[in-house]
Amino acid sequence: MPISTRTKKYTYWLASFMALFVILLAAYYHLGGFQKIQTAISKNNKYSLAGKEVHGKPTSKEERSLFGEMKGLIANGALKGTLSIVNYKDGPLGGDGGRRFVGILLEDDISMVPSGFSVLEIESETTFQAALIMHPLVMPNTQKVEAMLKLLADKRGVQLRDYTLEKLYGDNSVIVEMFAR
């Protein structure tokens, strides 16, 4: 019995959707979408960051230009370190539209900091870290990562400070840190 035109049409649609689903699933896998978030606890951390504080939305023009300036300082060797962002959660919107410190996590204790930049010192006895090694397109959002770190801290009976440190590496990996009080 021959297949009707309507049945052929639905068969082609189903095959097309299945092929698209397999392609998207393969791309998600290739970008690291199934990688687990690796968490760890670190002791006695002391960081020095050189940068500037910005206010407003995380995607503001001011922040993008500052971000580019920091990348340029690292690329031309003016400062040695890791591009980093400190997200403060003490704003009226809980971090969305609040303040951030965009800077470079300095590798050397003695670095010539360009004029107009301030140095932020962060020190903590205990630090909770999450390593994200997947492509930014498939990375979990900040709230999910922070929730995991808060859960890890709660299991240990530790309270966390009102900010996070994100270290952004050249291979698109990110380490998010939250600090104990």
**For 50-109, what is each residue's pLDDT tens digit?**
999 988 777 778 888 888 888 898 888 888 899 999 999 876 554 456 788 999 999 876
**The predicted structure's pLDDT at residue 1:** 59
Is the model more confident about 58 or about 18?
18
pLDDT of residue 151: 92
DSSP string for residues in 80-114:
-EEEEEEEE--STTTTTTSEEEEEEEESSSS--PP
Q: With CA atoms as reference, report the closest residue to 104 among 161, 47, 150.
A: 47
**Run of H or E residues at 23:** helix 5-30
Measured distance CA(38)–CA(149) in Å, rounded: 10
Looking at 3.20.80.10, 1.10.3720.10, 3.40.50.620, 3.20.20.70, the CATH number of the domain 38-180 comes to 3.20.80.10
pTM: 0.81
